[in-house]
Structure 1
Amino acid sequence: MVKRMKSLATFGAGPFATGDSDVRFGHYDYDDVPRLLAIFYAEFDNDAGPIIRHQVPANFNLTRIFQPQSGLIIPKSQLICRSMKCSLKHENCRVLGYPVKLSHQGYRRQYYIFNMCFVVAWESVSDSMYEPIVQKCAEYLIELEQEFSFLSNRAYNAQCGKKTVCGLEAKRLVSVLHTNKLCESEIRIIAPELAKVEIKNEKENEKNEKAKEDSVAAERNEDYRKVGVSKAAKNLMMTLYFKLCPSYRGVEPPEVSIFMVPMFIRGIKLTSRVIDGMDVLSQKIIPQIDGIRTVKEIAFVLNLDPALVARCVRNLHFYECVSLVPMFLYSNTYVATERVHDFYMNQTEITDCMDFVKIQNPEQIEDDGEPPPVPQFSDVFRLYLSMKCGMTLAEWVRVEQPRSMGIDEHRLVQFGMHHQFLRKLTVYPICTVSTGGNKFLSSCNGKTSIEELSLEHNLDPQVLYQLLAESNKFEFVMK
């Protein structure tokens, strides 16, 4: 199962900006990786009926699994082109498949049915994570069959070794997929006449029957020649990419406040090709995400409804493209975390930090007319350690004067929050007078933060804090 964080993205650090998780940004923690046991390819043979044509590993006993369930693996028309799962508790496994039926007059029965299935261990409760890969394999096989008759033409079988399933490097899939790594699988397609494949030891009548099926390839090739497809396409290499991704089913996207700051977790090169593939709203919003602007500020720059921007950021956050950190306020208090020591040993993060925290505007100069100095790592590390409880950021800036070192305190804090070197202390108001049934006063009980109250009442957190402090009716706890 995939460990997901809290469904409400509150202010703080962490994958869901909760500030109470040890999981790094953009990383999932798998506590039950589905164990892949085998992959096999089944089809409906014109004479033998449902059979297994290829399987990996070869020594895996699929007979006890396939024979009782062959009617489900190669099903009737009502279940075609639908994800299927057979749970076989007595065999301690589950079979995931996506049966496909292709209709064409060149086939002996006017149709061709096949199913490429994954066998997953019974104890794997999150086996649905394999369903997109099973469907992806089926879609690729459909394309190969429609273009080259790669499945129905027996001449191609000689190209499929013992370690492959229909040309897919299934042995590599079995060993790599469940480790949560990217797996590449190559399919080499060589036209039978180019490979000089000879089919031996077959009876004459079998050759005649299969020749009728192989006529599908010739008929389709003629169709493709009419639309200008080159014969060179008969000899090609395809590389397929597979990765086991977490299942988001049943998990609601986190709520996003307009006072939160989105920061990219992954490096994104905003080329024209990438931008053209986005929806219109994302095309406008994504280039404005710089790790400094809040959702509300992005909406103001683009002259958009903040709710629309929050919806876009909500999706980006849910799919772990961006993290969410609290709005930068000089009234906030930040403290260093244990991860600041990991930062000291990570040269990649050090390089990124030096580039991010420097004063970005080259026109900014000091009082003596000189440009700001280049930040030094020793200064950055010391500044992170100097942030402590009981000192607001405004007080810290007056004492440390980071800009004299060429360091932008705004960027320094946001980088530390993003990488969890820093943690923001949250302020909780406690009402010291009788609430009198007032809903707002009752909610100020030391359990609801200033940020949550500001979100509920659509107020700036700093403004709300000042109003509560000036009323002399509240005490404040930071934790």
Structure 2
Amino acid sequence: IDYLITNIFSPFKYKCTSTINISKATAMGKKLIGCPVCIEHKKYSRNALLFNLGLVCDAQTNTCALEPIVKKLSGYLTTLELESGFISNEDSKQKLLPIMSTLLEELNATGACTLPIDASNTIHLKLIELRKDPPIVQEYDVPVFTQCKDHFIKSQWDLTTQQILPYIDGFRHIQKISAEADVELNLVRIAVQNLLYYDVVTLVSIYQVQNQTRTVTLYLRMWCYHL
């Protein structure tokens, strides 16, 4: 993210809706991701307050991960305005620049930001890593943990996943896990696909597992014979 802006490209009322929508523009090698907001009330000049918050980044940047940030931040500002007139009040409006500067710095540095605005409002933002859709899980695929099984906190997963985790050992295939865990096959496939998405497990073919087992067994037999 190169810049975070609030007043360079202003929203027109016809572009604003009751829902928070993303608008985009590209100029001078930069991509602008905005979120026009219109709050209608008779207390405002022309009976409406229009504002637009946006991020500026390189034109080639994939902005899918940034769009939720813009939406959420615009939602925060809308709430602050409705509760306390944060944007329309000149005194509180002066806080916007340091707030935006801190947000930009922390998002670029760590991909996340927690910033108190006042006694009752705190902004929480986090860039979500884009991941590819995991492959379809088949009945005879064997899930294998990518790291030590003990490193994963069981309670952070849904109940179905918690139920099947003890049966994922690198040898049982999906159908066998379903039978032994007493969980419907399709639910097991969905749960394992979710684990794949977060790189908790990977899949190997049951034939690969069987071949490895046969190789180890044959090696042990030969070793015992030579003894």
Same-fold call, TM cutoff 0.5:
yes
2:15 matches 1:76: yes
Question: For structure 1, which runs of at least 5 residues remain unmatched after alignment?
Answer: 1-35, 42-51, 53-61, 190-234, 335-390, 402-479
C-alpha displacement of 1:78: 5.1
Question: For structure 2, which runs of at least 5 residues remain unmatched after alignment?
Answer: none
Return the letter of the residue paired with 1:184.
C
RMSD (CA atoms)? 3.5
The structure with the greater share of residues assigned to strand is 2
CA distance in 2, matches of 1:173, 1:87: 24
- Residue in structure 2 matched with residue 295 of structure 1 by the alignment: 174
Change (3 A) 1:130 1:299: same
2:79 matches 1:143: yes
Change (3 A) 1:241 1:128: closer
Number of residues of Structure 1 aligned to a counterpart in Structure 2: 221
C-alpha displacement of 1:300: 0.3
C-alpha displacement of 1:117: 0.4
TM-score of the pair, normalised by structure 2: 0.75
Return the letter of the residue paired with 2:60.
E
Out of 269, 275, 300, the position equivalent to 2:153 is 269
Change (3 A) 1:170 1:305: closer
- Residue in structure 1 matched with residue 49 of structure 2 by the alignment: 112
Q: Does the 8 A contact of 1:331 with 1:394 survive in 2?
A: no
CA distance in 2, matches of 1:108, 1:172: 34
1:109-188 to 2 correspondences below 5 Å:
109-124=46-61, 126-160=62-96, 162-165=97-100, 169-173=102-106, 175-176=108-109, 181-188=110-117
Residues 332-358 of structure 1: per-residue CA shift (max 9 Å, x gap) = 149xxxxxxxxxxxxxxxxxxxxxxxx
- Residue in structure 2 matched with residue 392 of structure 1 by the alignment: 215
C-alpha displacement of 1:325: 3.3
Change (3 A) 1:291 1:149: farther
- Residue in structure 2 matched with residue 87 of structure 1 by the alignment: 26
C-alpha displacement of 1:116: 1.3
Return the letter of the residue paired with 2:80.
L
TM-score of the pair, normalised by structure 1: 0.40
Return the letter of the residue paired with 1:188.
I
C-alpha displacement of 1:106: 4.4
Larger radius of gyration: 1
C-alpha displacement of 1:138: 2.0
C-alpha displacement of 1:105: 5.0
CA distance in 2, matches of 1:102, 1:298: 53
Change (3 A) 1:305 1:102: same
Residues 37-57 of structure 1: per-residue CA shift (max 9 Å, x gap) = 21111xxxxxxxxxx1xxxxx
Q: Does the 8 A contact of 1:184 with 1:239 survive in 2?
A: yes
CA distance in 1, matches of 2:163, 2:90: 52
Residues 198-230 of structure 1: per-residue CA shift (max 9 Å, x gap) = xxxxxxxxxxxxxxxxxxxxxxxxxxxxxxxxx
- Residue in structure 2 matched with residue 255 of structure 1 by the alignment: 136
Return the letter of the residue paired with 1:317.
L
CA distance in 1, matches of 2:131, 2:71: 15
C-alpha displacement of 1:317: 1.3
What percent of counterpart residues are identical? 24
CA distance in 1, matches of 2:136, 2:154: 26
Residues 58-114 of structure 1: per-residue CA shift (max 9 Å, x gap) = xxxx5xxx3xxx456x653459621221122xx111111222233445444443332
- Residue in structure 2 matched with residue 242 of structure 1 by the alignment: 126
Out of 310, 322, 327, the position equivalent to 2:201 is 322
CA distance in 1, matches of 2:210, 2:24: 55
CA distance in 2, matches of 1:78, 1:136: 16
Return the letter of the residue paired with 1:164.
I
CA distance in 2, matches of 1:82, 1:283: 37
CA distance in 1, matches of 2:162, 2:124: 28
